[in-house]
């Protein structure tokens, strides 16, 4: 199989390039192709003629998206449509990385793939609108929603917590948002499996289990061998520009249909901490 990865320099992209070893994979960053330029996207993909395109390129700074909505929509929605239209012209399959932010967070049980989109942030809206347009332009595309991504090679929650805990006696962490931390390595392996299984439609891909950011931080500090006190606070106390879903746990049923299982987030965190050391 020949695949092209758009967004190869990001946290997920780096993990995908390391993990995807049995196929011919070309990784491209924003320096190689600007997904906002439809002609450039078309030219690159026509020349490469991949069987699969994995679109991991995105504007992912959730808070910055609130103050730059036009840019967020241009990259996350319109850029995705450019890739989908090019994929359609060359007969390639597309896997698009989406987010738990397409939901409003008002449920108290895991979100299923068919649950209503109701994004509360600009970032969430950009991903939700991309999903709708992609399914119209390329009905057999695969949309892989994930959440709380962490991994080596870039900025992420565990890395921030470990750095802060090394220099502070106590940390305040939000305890009223619940989701599933997802390790870039495990997400990469699931994406590769979805491509090899010719997946289509919406699939939820996260590590198993769920926690609050506070509980996640406690495990990070403990796993890092630090003694910093982690204190629970409310989202209101730690107000951010972009609203976060209070509950965004994603059901794994859609992924299990492809025979793909993902380890628990606790197991993933242990492996991340080990990888970070080395």
- Structural domain containing residue 32: 2-155+181-209+248-263
Mean confidence (pLDDT) of the chain: 97
Given a cut of 90, is residue 239 above it in pLDDT? no
Report yes or no on 224 lying in a domain: no
Report yes or no on 80 lying in a domain: yes
Q: How far apart are CA 196 and CA 192, in angstroms?
A: 6
Strands 2-6 and 24-28, how do they pair? parallel
Mean pLDDT score, 271-275: 98
Strands 170-174 and 149-150, how do they pair? unpaired
Q: How far apart are CA 266 and CA 46, in angstroms?
A: 42
Model pLDDT for residues 48-79, shown as the tens digit of each residue: 999 999 999 999 999 999 999 999 999 999 99
Report yes or no on 220 lying in a domain: no
Report yes or no on 114 lying in a domain: yes
Report yes or no on 107 lying in a domain: yes
User: CA 8, 76, 118, 260: dihedral to nearest 10 degrees?
Assistant: -20
Report yes or no on 52 lying in a domain: yes
| pLDDT confidence bin for 38, thresholds 50/70/90 | very high
| Total tally of structural domains belonging to the chain | 1
Model pLDDT for residues 260-270, shown as the tens digit of each residue: 999 999 999 99
Could you tell me the CATH number of the domain that includes residue 129? 3.40.50.720
Q: How far apart are CA 250 and CA 127, in angstroms?
A: 16
Nearest CA-CA partner of 179 in 222, 202, 208, 143: 208
Residues with active-site annotation: 123
Alpha helices in the chain (DSSP H): 11-19, 38-48, 62-67, 69-73, 80-90, 122-137, 157-165, 184-196, 213-223, 253-256, 265-277
Report yes or no on 278 lying in a domain: no
Residue 77: predicted pLDDT: 98
Report yes or no on 169 lying in a domain: no
* Residue 171 φ then ψ, to 5°: -130, 140
Model pLDDT for residues 224-237, shown as the tens digit of each residue: 999 999 999 999 99
Model pLDDT for residues 11-32, shown as the tens digit of each residue: 999 999 999 999 999 999 999 9
């Amino acid at each position: 199989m020949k695949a092209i990865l758009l967004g190869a320099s990001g946290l997920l992209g780096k993990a995908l390039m390391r993990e995807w070893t049995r196929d011919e994979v070309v990784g491209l960053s924003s320096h190689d192709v600007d997904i906002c330029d439809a002609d450039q996207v078309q030219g690159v993909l026509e020349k490469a003629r991949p069987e699969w395109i994995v679109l991991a390129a995105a504007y992912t700074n959730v808070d910055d998206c609130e103050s730059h909505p036009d840019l967020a929509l241009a990259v996350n929605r319109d850029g995705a449509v450019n890739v989908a239209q090019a994929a359609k012209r060359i007969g390639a399959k597309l896997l698009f990385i989406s987010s738990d932010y397409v939901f409003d967070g008002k449920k108290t049980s895991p979100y299923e793939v068919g649950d209503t989109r109701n994004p509360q942030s600009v970032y969430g809206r950009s991903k939700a609108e991309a999903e709708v347009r992609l399914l119209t332009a390329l009905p057999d595309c695969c949309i892989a929603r994930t959440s709380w991504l962490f991994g080596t090679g870039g900025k992420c929650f565990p890395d921030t917590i470990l750095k802060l805990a090394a220099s502070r006696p106590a940390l305040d962490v939000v305890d009223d948002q619940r989701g599933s931390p997802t390790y870039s390595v495990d997400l990469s392996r699931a994406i590769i499996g979805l491509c090899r299984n010719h997946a289509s439609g919406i699939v939820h891909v996260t590590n198993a289990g769920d926690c609050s950011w506070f509980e996640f931080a406690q495990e990070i500090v403990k796993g890092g061998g630090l003694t910093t006190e982690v204190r629970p606070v409310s989202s209101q106390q730690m107000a951010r520009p972009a609203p976060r879903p209070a509950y965004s746990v994603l059901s794994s049923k859609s992924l299990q249909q492809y025979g793909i299982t993902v380890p628990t987030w606790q197991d993933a965190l242990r492996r991340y901490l080990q990888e970070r050391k080395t």
